[in-house]
Amino acid sequence: MIEINKDSLEARILKILMVRYPITAKELGTELGVKGSVLKPVLLELRRMRILDFDFLPDKTFIRLLRNDFSFVGIKVEQRKGIVKKSSKQTVKDYEGIAYT
The per-residue pLDDT for range 26-80, each reduced to its tens digit, is 999 999 999 999 999 999 999 999 999 999 999 999 999 998 888 888 866 555 5
Distance CA 42, CA 46 (A): 6
What is the pLDDT, as a whole number, of residue 3? Answer: 87
Closest CA to 54 of 72, 66, 42, 36: 66
Q: Which pLDDT score, from 0 to 100, does residue 24 have?
A: 93
d(CA 4, CA 45): 13
Q: Give residue 54's pLDDT.
A: 94
Kindly state the average pLDDT of the residues 11-39.
92
**Average pLDDT for 9-37:** 92
* Tens digits of residue pLDDT in 82-97: 556 666 565 666 666 6
Q: Which domains does the chain have, with CATH numbers?
A: 2-73 (1.10.10.10)
